[in-house]
Amino acid sequence: MRTLTPVALAATVALLSACTSPGGDSKPIAGAAPTACAQLAGTTIPGTRITLTESVAAGTIQLTGVQPGAPGSQAPVPAHCHVQGNINERTGIDGKRYAIGFDLRMPAQWNGRFFFQGGGGTDGTLRDAVGVLTGGGNTNNALSQGYAVVFTDTGHRDEPGPNGPYQFGLDPQARIDNGYNSMAETGRVAKLLIGTHYGRAPQRSYFVGCSNGGRQAMMMTQRYPDMFDGVIASAPAYRVPLASVQAVYDTQLFAKAAAENAPLVDGRPVLSKAFSTADMKLLTNEVLNQCDALDGLKDGIVANWPACKFKPEALKCTGAKTDQCLTGTQVDAITKSFAGVKDSSGKLLYSDWTFDAGLHSPEWTRWRLGDSTTATSNARNIILMTGGLAMFFTTPPTVTNDFWAYAMGFDFDRDAPKVYATNATFRESSMRSVAADSTDVDAYVKHGGKLLFFHGQSDPVFSVTDTVRYVGGLRQRYGTRTDDIARFFSVPNMAHCSGGPATDQYDGLTALVNWVEKGEAPSRIVARARPENRDVTTPGRTRPLCAWPMQPRYNGSGSIEDAANFSCRMP
C-alpha cells in the first residue's frame, strides 16, 4: 500500500505547487517517482477512499447516463488510467449516506494540463470525465487531447421518483457541497492523484463548463482563485435560484395561454398548447423582420441584438386567431416573460431577455413548454428548475412531488425572498452557497487567471443579458483592464449550451489555452452551423463570434456564408 503520510503528503503538495515553464513540458521533481495506475488503489489521501483503479485501452466508451445508441452516447478515449473515489463520506441530518464522488482519467500521453469538467442541472450522477468541450457537435474531447480530466457528482446521487434529484436539498452540507465545496475538494484530490501518478504537477489547470458547469467555473474564480489558470463559463447558471423564480413565472404566464388554446386535462391546462409550432415560427419571423437588418445584412441572424427593440404587440390578432397572429393572452405572456419576473413593487427579480431568431427551435420550446399532451407537464422548467427551487434553493425547503402545483401557487412577494433566507438548520442561503455573482475576482486576477464567457442569444434557461450584466460589473470594477481578464462571446440563434438554428460549433478551449499560455487574447472565434441542427437554413455556414461589445459585420464582398468575409467591429 502506498500511503501519503503527513510528510509524503506535504511533499506531494510541494510538488503540486512547484513552478514549471508555461507552454513547455514540465519536468519530474527529484524524488517524486511516478506511480503506476494499479498502485494508486493503495494510495491514501486523508478524507478520501479510492473505489476504482483500472487501465483503459484506447477506443470508445459508453457514457454513463446516456441511452446506448443515442447521438453522443459514446466518446473516443486514448489509453488512460481511470480512478474513482469518494471524498468526505458522512451521514447527513436526514440519515442518508453522502460523499463527494469523483471520476478521474489520466491519459498515458499527458500534455501536462488538468481539465475540470463542469456539471449540469443539480448533478447527482457520476459522469465520465472525458472532458466535454463547449458548443455543439464536438467529436473530440479534452481527454483525447492529452488532458487529465476530473468530474464530480457534487456530493450526492439522484434518488428515484419525481423529487429524487432534489432530495439532497434537505441536508445543509449537501447544499454547500453542491454549491461550491465539492469542486474545491475534487480539485484538491485530483491534483494530488495526478501528481502521484505522473510524478509531476499539472503545468496549467482549466475549468470548463456550461449551465451549472458555467456557474461552477465562475465560483472557482471567486472562492478558490489559485486553483485554476483559466475557465470557460458557458450559459452560466450563476444566479440559478433567481432564474428558477423566472421559470415559475413563465409557467404561470404560459398556463394562461394554454388554458385559452386547448381544453383542460384533469383540471389543468396542457402547457405545450400555449404556443403552437406555427405560433413560434411566426414569432421568430417577426423578430427577423424587425431586427435582422440592424447590422446591415439580412441573413437570418440578429447580430446587433442590443439594438433590437422587438414588440410582440405587432403580432396581436385584430380578429379571430389564425396562424398569422397571436391572441392577446399569448402576446401578454411573451411580453411579460421577456421583460422579466417582478414583484408587486415592480422590482426585477432576475433579468430581462432578448428576442432572437432561435425561439422556435425545439430546444427552446422543450424548456419553456415541453411537448406533453397530458396534464403532467414535461417542460424542463417544471421538471428541473421548479424542483430545484422547491427543495434546494429556498429555505425552508418545500418537499413535494407536484411541481406544477408548487409553481402555480408560488407568490413572488412571499416566496421569492426565500432564496435569500436562512434558519437554524440552513445557515447559508442558496444565494450565498450557489450564486456566483461576485465581481470581486481580485485574487484570481492577481494569479493571472482568465475568464471566457459564451452564451446563446436564444437561451431559454438563463438570460444572455444577465451574463452581459455580470461582465459589465467586471468592467465597472476593473475598467480597461477587463479585456485582459475576461472576454464574452454571444452566439446568435443558439439555445442552451448548444442547438438551435445556430453557428454553435466552435473551439473555446484552444482560445482559452492560447490566451493563458501564449498571451493571445481572443477577439474573434470562428463558429460553424452544424447540418444536423434542425432548422439550420445554411448548413456549414461559418461566422465569427466577436468579443463583446464588438459585432460581426459583412465586409461587402464574398460569400455571406464564409466567416472570412466578416470583421468584428464596434456597433
Catalytic residue positions, numbered: 211, 459, 496
Placement of cell 472565434 in the chain: 525
Query: What are φ and ψ of residue 50, in 5° steps?
Result: -75, 125
| 77 three-state secondary structure | strand
- Residue from 75, 197, 58, 215 nearest 132 by CA: 75
Please tell me the distance from the alpha carbon of residue 107 to that of residue 86, in angstroms, as a whole number: 21
Looking at 111-239, list the stretches that DSSP marks H as alpha helix, in order from N- to C-terminal side: 172-176, 182-198, 212-223
Please tell me the distance from the alpha carbon of residue 52 to that of residue 435, in angstroms, as a whole number: 33
Amino acid at 522: P
Total residues found in the chain within this entry: 571
Report residue 81 as a C-alpha cell. 488510467
Please tell me the distance from the alpha carbon of residue 547 to that of residue 483, in angstroms, as a whole number: 9
**Burial category of 40 from C-beta neighbours within 10 Å (exposed 0-12, middle 13-18, buried 19 and up):** buried
Contact 105, 130 (CB under 8 A): yes
- Residue from 527, 532, 526, 535 nearest 501 by CA: 535
Looking at 206-324, list the stretches that DSSP marks H as alpha helix, in order from N- to C-terminal side: 212-223, 240-261, 277-291
Placement of cell 490566451 in the chain: 515
What are the DSSP calls for 114-137, one per residue? EEEE---TT--S----S-PPSSS-
Please tell me the distance from the alpha carbon of residue 113 to that of residue 13, in angstroms, as a whole number: 17
Please tell me the distance from the alpha carbon of residue 335 to that of residue 485, in angstroms, as a whole number: 35
Distances (CA, A) of 89 to 97, 122, 320: 7, 19, 62
b vs e for 45-80, b when ≥16 Cβ sit within 10 Å of the residue's Cβ?
A: beebebeebeebeeeebebeeeeeeeeeebbebbeb
**Burial category of 97 from C-beta neighbours within 10 Å (exposed 0-12, middle 13-18, buried 19 and up):** exposed
| 223 three-state secondary structure | helix
**How many helices (H) and strands (E) would you count in the chain?**
15, 15
Report residue 513 as a C-alpha cell. 489555452
Please tell me the distance from the alpha carbon of residue 228 to that of residue 450, in angstroms, as a whole number: 9
Placement of cell 447527482 in the chain: 124
